[in-house]
């Protein structure tokens, strides 16, 4: 066994999914070969290292040159290793616990607690003696709360430790609010909701509270179990506002933003320029002047402002594929948060400014955007699809923006319910609409098409395909300083990469993708096997869905093949799952706790009036953007249904 205690010398098993595990496989095998059951084990650090070595052997992680006989011989040592580890930890008792658990490094504290619990040391040692020994070794309260057995064994003692310092509220935040899946937090049974409320309140008032954790308290759902109530959330909001003001008092931050404008001389419909961190969108007045009819106005939102892509999947939601490495792994997000990043904020800002610009431009041409929306429901759907009885009532011209926002949210719910009833009953019965009071569930709004969206299944195979092809964390993104890209797909499309160019450790991944029919080796280069399959996979990664009826016949055949392989499933709804989540984020608290909750606030009359008409105008523009997005999706549903020959009501 190694006599070193340093973490860079000790063997640690990180799991088969962690690349760091493989770097130590050779040394782990060496220790396994030197292990002799008769050699005495006297230090917990040595025993824990043996425990990690045992996991390497159990996982079958051996040097590449190991023969089958050597592998079998190593596996035969597992029972003896397990027995030696158990013998050591079963000797721990009241008198020797302090000595035997001393000098275990921080990274191995979870293993120490696991082995103590597994071998019933918590039952043999009093709370005072064991907790004193663990504290002396540097085991943190957080590490203890991650171990269920010690929390159960020393319930009241750990509860007393937990409530003794308001900074321990961070453990409560991690348990109930933080979207951190690295380790589970177990709170003592004796720790009550009253304890949680008092601890969190003390933390909000604490001078050195963590800004991110204060934000999680602010956006957490109200719950008697967690101690979160409206008063505490308000206190957290005010504290975060003060902390933000203090942060930027002497720090101007980084300039970023978006500009939109109309050019009198520009020929191209739109030009986009990036000036440092500011995106500038310029639109041709000539183009806008030539597209003042109702259909063109709505088309401009879809195509000119790019509210939707070529498959009519909205570009507005926050998609995980758009998150950077820092945003994915190093930001603090709540369990019920809508996870947004810089890309979402950029699109959110630009689309809001585009809507505001277009609203102003149309108004200057005596065109009411709400009247255009009313035309879509009351004229276009009738003339184009024979869809009768839809209605949309524009706001009164003299209304305040507070009144317009309230009215628009109510009308948006109305048209959503109208569409739902139309799909469910093959007609829209106005009398039925009048007696329908169920709240609109945007993610459950039905579609006229069966199996409209394609979603990646939860299997490991499709997950690995998407990761290796498109993720910036794929093992295939870098071959050399001259041959690399942000993703494997980009690398293979933009470069002629031969099989021999890949390093030895990358070839197993390439072989796997070739076996699955995702890549092919022509002998000259490794390339995408089939274009249609690739486009579907890319959509699944980028937008978390693919639109089946926008695919070619070859594309649909690829989807059918993927369904048979268990890679994907098809489901129907008006909005894709991420699109439905986007609407929920902005409008209500059905799914997320950190959203603006605009529908609830405005229809329930609980909006804050401190900012006056400026704030209400922004909400009104946001509501316009949402209902235009809904119109785009409804029009797509009707259009695809007609193209597919699906019978529509009245036809």
Give pLDDT, residue 5: 41
DSSP string, 352-391: HHHHHHHHHHHHHTT--HHHHHHHIIIIIHHHHH---S--
Buried/exposed 562-582: b ≥16 CB within 10 Å, e otherwise: beeeebbebeebbbbebbbbb
User: β-pairing, 270-275 with 278-284?
Assistant: antiparallel
β-pairing, 453-456 vs 568-571, is antiparallel
Instruction: Write out the two tokens for 620.
Output: 């009104």
213/236 Cα distance (integer angstroms): 9
The C-alpha atoms of residue 353 and residue 362 are separated, in whole angstroms, by 14
- Phi and psi at residue 368, in whole multiples of 5°? -95, 120
Rounded Cα–Cα distance for residues 313 and 391 (Å): 25
For the segment 566-583, the average pLDDT, to the nearest whole number, is 97
Most confident segment among 27-36, 338-347, 367-376: 367-376
- pLDDT for 209-267, tens place per residue? 999 999 999 999 899 889 999 999 999 999 999 998 887 776 665 666 789 999 999 99
> What pLDDT was estimated at residue 513?
96
Tokens representing 335 are 């369990």
- Note the pLDDT of residue 65: 78
The confidence score (pLDDT) of residue 603 equals 79
Distance CA 236, CA 169 (A): 13
pLDDT at residue 411, rounded to an integer: 96
What one-character DSSP code corresponds to residue 301?
I
Which pLDDT band holds residue 184 (cuts at 50, 70, 90)?
confident
Q: Residue 447 phi/psi, 5° resolution?
A: -120, 155
DSSP for 562-602, written as a single string: HHHHTSEEEE--SS-HHHHHHHHHHH-SSS-SSS--HHHHH
Per-residue pLDDT band at 561 (split at 50, 70, 90): very high
Alpha helices in 146-258 (DSSP H): 148-153, 155-163, 169-176, 193-204, 211-219, 230-249
Q: Name, of 66-75, 238-247, 535-544, the range with top average pLDDT.
A: 535-544
Polymer length of the chain = 651
**DSSP assignment letter at 395:** P
Question: Token pair for residue 540?
Answer: 């699944």
How many CA atoms lie within 13 Å of 48's alpha carbon, on the beta-carbon side? 26
pLDDT of the residue at 623: 97
Q: Could you tell me whether strands 278-284 and 257-263 are parallel, antiparallel, or unpaired per DSSP bridges?
A: parallel
d(CA 191, CA 182): 23
Looking at residues 541-558, what average pLDDT do you find? 97
A 10 A CB-CB count for 189 gives: 11
pLDDT for the residue numbered 146: 94
Average pLDDT over every residue of 375-391: 97
Q: How far is CA 393 from CA 244, 377, 429, in A?
A: 41, 10, 18
What are the pLDDT digits (tens) for 432-452? 988 887 888 999 999 999 999
Q: Given this model, what pLDDT does residue 28 score?
A: 87
Banded model confidence at residue 3, pLDDT cuts 50, 70, 90: very low
Give the Cα separation of 541 and 462 in Å (integer): 10
pTM above 0.85, yes or no: no
Q: Would the CA dihedral through 221, 227, 230, 232 be positive or negative? A: negative
Structure tokens at 649: 């009501």
How many angstroms separate the CA atoms of 224 and 232, rounded? 12
């Amino acid at each position: 066994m190694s006599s070193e205690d340093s973490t860079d010398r000790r063997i640690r098993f990180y799991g088969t999914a962690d690349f760091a595990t493989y770097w130590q496989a050779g040394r782990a095998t060496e220790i396994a070969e030197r292990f002799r059951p008769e050699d005495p084990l006297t230090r917990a650090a040595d025993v824990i290292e043996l425990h990690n070595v045992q996991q390497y052997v159990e996982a079958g992680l051996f040097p590449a040159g190991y023969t089958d006989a050597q592998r079998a011989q190593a596996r035969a040592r597992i029972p003896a290793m397990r027995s030696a580890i158990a013998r050591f930890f079963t000797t721990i008792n009241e008198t020797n616990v302090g000595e035997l658990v001393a000098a275990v490094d921080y990274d191995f504290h979870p293993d120490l607690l696991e082995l103590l619990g597994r071998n019933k040391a918590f039952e043999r040692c009093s709370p005072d003696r064991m907790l004193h020994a663990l504290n002396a070794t540097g085991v943190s309260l957080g590490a203890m709360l991650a171990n269920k057995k010690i929390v159960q064994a020393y319930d009241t003692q750990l509860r007393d430790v937990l409530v003794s310092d308001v900074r321990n509220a961070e453990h409560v935040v991690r348990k109930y609010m933080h979207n951190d899946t690295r380790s589970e937090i177990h709170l003592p049974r004796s720790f009550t909701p009253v304890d949680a409320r008092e601890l969190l309140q003390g933390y909000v008032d604490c001078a050195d509270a963590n800004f991110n954790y204060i934000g999680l308290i602010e956006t957490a759902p109200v719950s008697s179990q967690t101690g979160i109530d409206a008063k505490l959330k308000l206190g957290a909001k005010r504290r975060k506002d003060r902390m933000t003001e203090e942060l930027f008092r002497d720090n101007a931050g980084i300039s970023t933003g978006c500009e939109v404008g109309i050019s009198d001389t520009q020929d191209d419909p739109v030009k986009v320029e990036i000036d440092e961190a500011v995106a500038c969108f310029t639109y041709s007045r000539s183009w806008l002047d030539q597209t003042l009819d109702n259909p063109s106005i709505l088309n401009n939102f879809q195509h000119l402002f790019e509210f939707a892509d070529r498959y009519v999947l909205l570009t507005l939601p926050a998609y995980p594929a758009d998150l950077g490495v820092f945003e994915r792994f190093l930001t603090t997000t709540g369990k019920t948060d809508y996870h947004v990043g810089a890309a979402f904020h950029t699109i959110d800002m630009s689309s809001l400014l585009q809507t505001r610009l277009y609203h102003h431009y149309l108004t200057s041409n005596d065109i009411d955007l709400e009247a255009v929306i009313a035309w879509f429901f009351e004229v276009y759907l009738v003339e184009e699809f024979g869809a009768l009885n839809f209605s949309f009532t524009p706001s009164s011209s003299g209304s305040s923006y507070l009144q317009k926002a309230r009215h628009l949210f109510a009308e948006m719910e109305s048209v959503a319910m109208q569409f739902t009833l139309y799909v469910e009953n093959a007609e829209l019965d106005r009398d039925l609409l009048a007696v329908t009071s169920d709240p609109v569930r945007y993610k459950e709004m039905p579609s006229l098409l069966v199996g409209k969206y394609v979603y990646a299944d939860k299997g490991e195979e499709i997950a690995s395909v998407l990761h290796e092809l498109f993720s910036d964390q794929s093992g295939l993104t870098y071959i050399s300083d001259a041959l690399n890209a942000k993703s494997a797909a980009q690398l293979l499309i933009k470069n002629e990469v031969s099989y021999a160019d890949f390093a030895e450790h990358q070839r197993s991944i390439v072989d796997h993708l070739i076996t699955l029919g995702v890549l092919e080796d022509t002998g000259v280069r490794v390339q995408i096997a089939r274009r249609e399959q690739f486009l579907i996979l890319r959509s699944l990664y980028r937008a978390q869905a693919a639109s089946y009826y926008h695919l070619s016949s070859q594309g649909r055949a690829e989807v059918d093949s993927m369904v048979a392989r268990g890679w994907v499933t098809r489901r129907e709804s008006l909005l894709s799952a991420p699109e439905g989540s986007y609407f929920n984020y902005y409008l209500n608290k059905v799914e997320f706790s950190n959203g603006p909750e605009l529908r609830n606030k405005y229809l329930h009359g609980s909006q804050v009036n401190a900012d006056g008409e400026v704030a209400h105008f922004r909400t009104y523009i946001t509501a316009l953007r949402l209902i235009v997005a809904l119109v785009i999706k409804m029009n797509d549903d009707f259009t695809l249904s007609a193209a597919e020959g699906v019978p529509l009501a009245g036809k």
